[in-house]
Amino acid sequence: MIDSPVNTLFKQLIDFDKSMSQPVYIQVSQQIVTAIQRQYVTKGTMLPGTRVLAQLLKVHRNTAVAIYEELASQGWVEIRPNKGTFVLDPALKIAKIKAPSQKINQAHTAAKTTGFPFQKSFHLASTVQLTNAKYTITDGKPDLRLHPVHQFTRWYSAAMKRKTLVKKWNIPNEFSYSLFQTQLCNYLNATRGFHIKPNNIISTRSTEMSLYIVSQLLIKQNDVVLVGHLSNYASNMIFQQAGATIKTIPVDTDGLNIEYIKKHFVKGSIRCVYICAHRDYPTIVTLSAERRLALLQLAREYGFAIIEDDYDYDFQFEGSAMLPMASTDANGMVIYLGKLGQSLFPSFQTGFVVAPENLISEAKNYLQLLDKQGDLIQEQMLSELINEGEIYRLMKKNSVIYKQRRDCLCKLLTDYFSEIAHWNIPTGGLAVWVQFHPKISLVKLAEEAEKNDLFLPKTILYQDKNTCAIRFGFGHLDKEEIAPVIKKLKSAYNKVSMRSLED
């Protein structure tokens, strides 16, 4: 038996590494599957017994048993008690649909276009751009390298082992709120001045999902939505897809101009105002306390909703963060959008909506359609991280690093751009609003920069007759990377500026 053809074949084909994280039985079973697929081992072949296989591979017999059980679970072999383990037919017997004679040559070719019309969405055109450049300037993304991988491996593993998770999946309890909802409420009440209960909140996969759900509840065709001048391209796409008519409002050093709204709009003409009160997107200016009160008063008077997107509340470097408008809203005019866990890897982050109970109740109906299953493991883990203070600790630890990066960026901007650009040092957030003077073509700047291994996506470029600026995100760059980025940007600027003078 030891010298049988199958045994010889296994000796030649099977090789595994015990130092790998992948278990030995998985490594071996995958190689046997490959041998079956390539018909090195044919249907009906009897495989070596578990004792013989263990001797061939020099592994424990339990490992050999696990190998065959894995193959059997996938349908590659059949284990017959007291007879042995036999290879099954790997070929999938699929009945082919015969094509009409005029399409016979296309029967096995995937169609490039549909044979029926469908509705295309201009508003959801992709903003993704591909590049091979070594460096990229984003609009203010966190650095994924700061995510505590090893700690999260331990935390995630512990969360998966909770026996209560299976009960939550199999027997959903609709009469009580989850531990995560309770912990999230406690966290927001402690950090953002809220006085909410679990019935005032839903958690989503992202801020974009939150805004999409809210827009479905609020907006009908041709409803007017007010946004700040320049504004957030992603939110604008969501509003337009819902059928809204977007009107832009001037933004100055005190934020959104509320007097402009009073002068140009009448009661009943506005459906909602979308605002990033803490740090305007993209200009990063904070809405003053006076204008916050004025906007709340106007919302009550005109009857419109305020959507407050607090996309980077966690990152405050100097002074205290101004509390959200929603924390002082006693009349139910504000819908608050936020994000938890921006110091974590994206798959561990979660968005949330805070609003009056009746709106949250309706929002849950949409959430059931979009994301009925949710992620109970993520919620379990985040609950524990909130309860143990790890979320707060990581946020503070990373804020120190981001502050150092902000200071490094602003110093280098002073060294290279002080005579040709203007910016304010932000008290928080992961981006700097850099305005060029005299104006240049930002499209040409991006083209020149990419030739020099620096990518400027179109979503960070803002140019019209009054504006020539970029939203310079620095969070994803460490101090050693910021220096070459600034040098490459200055080199590209010099080339574009020189060409402008020549023209």
Contact 162, 184 (CB under 8 A): no
| Domain chopping of the chain, boundaries | 5-87, 135-141+394-502, 168-388
Q: Which CATH architecture has domain 135-141+394-502?
A: Alpha-Beta Complex (3.90)
Q: What is the pLDDT along the chain (503 residues), one digit of tens a residue?
A: 456 788 888 888 888 888 888 899 999 998 898 888 888 888 889 999 999 999 989 999 999 999 999 999 988 999 999 889 999 876 554 444 444 444 444 445 678 889 898 888 777 777 788 899 999 999 999 998 998 888 888 877 877 777 666 566 555 555 457 788 999 999 999 999 999 999 999 999 999 999 999 999 999 999 999 999 999 999 999 999 999 999 999 999 999 999 999 999 999 999 999 999 999 999 999 999 999 999 999 999 999 999 999 998 989 999 888 999 999 999 999 999 999 988 787 778 899 999 999 999 999 999 999 988 778 888 888 888 898 888 888 899 999 999 999 999 999 999 999 999 999 999 999 999 999 999 999 999 999 999 999 999 999 999 999 999 999 999 999 999 999 999 999 999 999 998 877 66
Residue 342 and residue 402 in contact, taking contact as beta carbons nearer than 8 Å: no
The answer as to CATH 3.40.50.620 being correct for domain 168-388 is no
Q: What is the DSSP letter of 288?
A: P
pTM score, two decimals?
Answer: 0.79
Judged by DSSP in three states, 12 sits in: helix
Cβ–Cβ under 8 Å, residues 216 and 239: no
Cα separation, 402 vs 231, in Å, equals 24
DSSP secondary structure letters along 127-140:
-------SEE-BSS
**Long-range CB contact pairs, 68-73, < 8 A, 24+:** 70/25, 70/26, 70/29, 71/29, 71/32, 71/33
Is the backbone of residue 318 left (phi > 0), alpha (psi -120 to 50) or beta?
beta
Give the pLDDT confidence of 154-212 residue by residue, as tens digits.
Answer: 877 877 777 666 566 555 555 457 788 999 999 999 999 999 999 999 999 999 999 99
Count of other CB atoms within 10 angstroms of residue 249: 20
Q: What is the CATH number of domain 5-87?
A: 1.10.10.10
Instruction: Dump pLDDT digits (tens) for 345-394.
Output: 777 889 999 999 999 999 999 999 998 877 888 888 888 889 888 888 88
Of 285, 210, 213, 276, which is closest to residue 242 (Cα–Cα)?
A: 213
DSSP bridge partners of 432: 472
* Whether the domain at 5-87 and the domain at 135-141+394-502 fall into the same CATH topology: no
Bridge-based pairing of strands 135-136 and 454-455 is parallel
CA atoms within 13 A on the CB side of 194: 23
Q: Which two tokens stand for residue 307?
A: 């959507």
Please name the residues in contact with 334: beta carbons below 8 A apart, sequence gap of 6 or more: 296, 299, 305, 306, 307, 308, 324, 325, 326, 355
